[in-house]
Amino acid sequence: MASVSGQLRDCLRGSATLLDALDAIGRWRSFVILAATFLVFAIVMAVLMSLSTYVGMRLGAGLGSFLGLLSGLIGLFVMLAGTNAAGVMLWDETKGLPPRSVADALAFALFTTHRLIAIGLIEGLLFLAYLIALCLMLFACKIPWLGPLLYAVVFPVGAVVTGLIVFTLLYVAFPLALPAIWNGAGVLSTLSILSAIARQRLVSTVISELLLGLMVAVLTALIGGIVMIGLSATGSLSLLILSIGGGEGGMGLISGLMGLMMSGGMGGGGSGYAVALGFGMGVLLLCAFLLPALVSLKGIGAIYLSVTEGMSFADAEARFKSGIENIAARASQVRERALDTPAPPAPVAPVQRQCPACNGGLAADDAFCQHCGHRVA
């Protein structure tokens, strides 16, 4: 495992490659895929949520809530698939490969998005298992006399481990799972790769992603400034030429634009201007959001290539699979022991004695029949 200073030096030397992520701004095919993803997501969610609300009102709140949850899952799949398709096209460029077509990128996304969902579920379950274990240790700290001594160890260790796990999830597990899958890794292979990165190069990964976040924040501020300046100038001229709010002193740009969007006058043409204004502002906001998102996707791919350079994942994958097999074997042993545990013997009903002369019932200690007096013992 490389030292922290060595990781920082490697990170700073490789940080220049993050600037190449800015080239994603001109990749119009990825932009179109991502924009179409948001459009499809908005339409699907509007239709499905309206349907779930209608069903909830007509057939019951329980069924409506179930359809609402199903709608959210479908919307999540649409977002992940579209992001996956746009990202894999940028990944080809990052690796220097011939860019695949839009159809190939969408097909790849449809057949690999389930891996992202599975990885997210596994990581969530592992984090939940850790929280349960931490809670059990904290409950053990309630033991009289011994509890404070135990808490003096559990608290600092738990704080450090929890912080490392959260940083690993935020900066390794969630973002770097995407380029690992773009590179062709399966679910178990991706988990083993992510665990190896977290053990060996967590510091450099965190620093690289912080630098990427800073670059994306600056880019977002720059695009936002351009949009706001253009909106202010063009909106003011639009209000002046279209005579909306021009005669009302004190009406600002925002209130004038809102008046334009809500106006139905202007000789019957106000609604057309309102639709045009809404469409234009939607396009501006979409561009202001999608362009930094494309840069983030390409930057994550560049970080993955940088932190995995020179790393061998064969041993890590073998250890990870061995650990999974050991857990499965122990679970199987526990299940077999539970199934092999002999059931407690059923109580044997006592044999009812009868008198041989009159067939009357006899008690266990009767020497003579209580019905006919016949000697039975």
Res 267: pLDDT: 43
Res 161: pLDDT: 92
Q: What single-letter amino acid sits at 336?
A: E
Sole residue written with tokens 């450090």: 160
* Contact indicator for 311, 216 with CB cutoff of 8 Å: no
* Contact indicator for 207, 8 with CB cutoff of 8 Å: yes
Res 251: pLDDT: 43
Res 133: pLDDT: 93
Q: Rounded to whole angstroms, how far apart are CA atoms 94 and 210?
A: 20
Res 128: pLDDT: 93
Q: Rounded to whole angstroms, how far apart are CA atoms 76 and 204?
A: 30
Q: Rounded to whole angstroms, how far apart are CA atoms 146 and 154?
A: 12
pTM for this predicted structure = 0.70
Cα 160 versus chain centre, distance: 24
Count of alpha carbons within 13 Å of 377, Cβ hemisphere only?
11
SS (H, E, C) the chain: CCCHHHHHHHHHHHHHHHHHHHHHHHCHHHHHHHHHHHHHHHHHHHHHHHHHHHHHHHHCHHHHHHHHHHHHHHHHHHHHHHHHHHHHHHHHHHCCCCCCCHHHHHHHHHHHHHHHHHHHHHHHHHHHHHHHHHHHHHHHCCCCCHHHHHHHHHHHHHHHHHHHHHHHHHHHHCCCHHHHHHCCCCHHHHHHHHHHHHHHCHHHHHHHHHHHHHHHHHHHHHHHHHHHHHHHHHHHHHHHHCCCCCCCCCCCHHHHHHHHHHCCCCCCCHHHHHHHHHHHHHHHHHHHHHHHHHHHHHHHHHHHHHHCCCCCCHHHHHHHHHHHHHHHHHHHHHHHHHHHCCCCCCCCCCCCEECCCCCCEECCCCCECCCCCCECC
Q: Rounded to whole angstroms, how far apart are CA atoms 293 and 83?
A: 9
Determine whether 141 is exposed, middle or buried from the number of CB atoms within 10 Å of its CB (0-12, 13-18, 19+).
Answer: middle
Res 131: pLDDT: 93
Res 134: pLDDT: 92
Res 268: pLDDT: 45
Q: Rounded to whole angstroms, how far apart are CA atoms 261 and 278?
A: 7
One digit per residue, the tens of pLDDT, for the chain of length 377 reads 456 656 556 665 555 567 777 888 888 888 889 889 988 888 888 888 888 887 778 777 778 788 888 888 888 899 999 999 998 999 988 888 888 888 899 999 989 998 989 998 998 898 999 999 999 999 988 888 888 889 999 999 999 999 888 888 888 888 899 999 998 888 888 888 888 888 888 888 888 888 888 989 999 999 888 888 888 888 777 777 765 444 443 344 555 555 555 554 444 444 566 677 778 888 888 888 888 999 999 989 888 888 887 777 666 666 666 666 666 667 667 666 656 655 555 554 455 667 776 766 666 666 667 667 666 66
Res 130: pLDDT: 92
Res 28: pLDDT: 86
DSSP lists the bridge partners of residue 375 as: 368
